[in-house]
Amino acid sequence: MSTNHDADHDTDRDAVRLTGVAAGYPRRPPALRDLTARLPRARRTAVVGPNGAGKSTLLGVVAGVLRPAAGTVTRHHPGRPALVAQRSAAADALPLTVRDAVTMGRWAHRGPWRPLTRHDRAVVRDCLDRLGLLDLAGRQLGELSGGQRQRALVAQGLAQESELLLLDEPAAGVDLAASRRISAVLAAASERGVTVVQATHDLDEALRADHCLLLADGRQLAAGPPADVLTPEALARAWGLPRSVATASNAATVSNASNGLVNGLVSDPSCP
């Protein structure tokens, strides 16, 4: 196993390459198995797959918070990745305002004790503005709605000004307007040169990405342009759904049906 920072190799095309990566958790079967994948530089990559497919584990490995048990992760970008994890109850319980939470994104540059510079303050304001949070900046994080909190976490990730932004279901539980705003913010970030990688259950959002990885049971089923990856056949294979329901243009149906399968609401996959 190794994690390299290789500034010379293929720097034009890929921000990260994974080769034969296996990763997981103590006393559990591997959550990722023999995964070989590329994350194109300055593009948006969507990581798609059923619950438990290994999406969060992949983000953890790329972020460097989870050590692979085998294989190689090669990063071709300077600096630390920014990881926007799924919402945690612990963060909600802390006595932080939205502005405090977004300001914490600057700690990657400043550390928690050094005073903020004018640039830090400008970045925090800009990130609050991009996510439509200026009016909520003084509110306690724990007092926000789920969707508002989610936007604050995305703003915090953005405030790190990392060249590699990893997000675990950034639009989970947010309304349509907020999810479009998050999507537009991520698209703008990749246009500015940021490599954006997001795990998502929203297949329409995945179709808007530049690149897509489809995972199931810790393995990569397909990778490439989203429209080529999210075929009815591939979706049916990943979710164990009948091909008739698994069309990318009918993302809500796929999502609902797959959630139903996972939650045991649909016991017979042939009767969606």
Ligand X SMILES: Nc1ncnc2c1ncn2[C@@H]1O[C@H](COP(=O)(O)OP(=O)(O)OP(=O)(O)O)[C@@H](O)[C@H]1O
Q: Which helix (H) or strand (E) holds 187?
A: helix 176-191
**Minimal distance in Å, beta carbon 81 to ligand X?**
17
How many residues are given for the chain?
A: 272
Task: Give yes or no for residue 81 binding ligand X (CB under 6 A).
Answer: no
CB within 8 A of 91, min separation 6: which ones?
A: 101, 141, 153
Q: How far apart are the first and last CA of the chain?
A: 42
> Nearest 5°: phi and psi at 119?
-65, -45
The residues in 178-207 that bind ligand X, with binding defined as CB under 6 A, are 199
**Minimal distance in Å, beta carbon 112 to ligand X?**
26
Name which of 56 and 160 has its Cβ closer to ligand X.
Answer: 56
Name which of 120 and 205 has its Cβ closer to ligand X.
Answer: 205
Task: Give yes or no for residue 87 binding ligand X (CB under 6 A).
Answer: no
The residues in 33-62 that bind ligand X, with binding defined as CB under 6 A, are 49, 51-57
> Nearest 5°: phi and psi at 137?
-55, -30
The residues in 6-25 that bind ligand X, with binding defined as CB under 6 A, are 25
**Minimal distance in Å, beta carbon 212 to ligand X?**
14
Name which of 97 and 259 has its Cβ closer to ligand X.
Answer: 259
**Minimal distance in Å, beta carbon 29 to ligand X?**
7
Task: Give yes or no for residue 162 binding ligand X (CB under 6 A).
Answer: no
Strands in 82-84's sheet, in edge-to-edge order, are 82-84, 164-168, 195-199, 44-48, 211-216, 219-224
Q: Distance of alpha carbon 127 from its chain centroid, rounded?
A: 18
Q: Residues 16, 152, 213, CA angle at the centre, nearest 5°?
A: 30
Q: Distance (Å, rounded) from C-alpha 226 to C-alpha 80?
A: 27
**Minimal distance in Å, beta carbon 114 to ligand X?**
33
Task: Give yes or no for residue 173 binding ligand X (CB under 6 A).
Answer: no
* 69, amino acid identity: A
Binding residues for ligand X, rule CB under 6 A, total: 12
Name which of 74 and 198 has its Cβ closer to ligand X.
Answer: 198
**Minimal distance in Å, beta carbon 157 to ligand X?**
17
Please give the residue ranges that form the binding site for ligand X (CB under 6 A): 25, 28, 31, 49, 51-57, 199
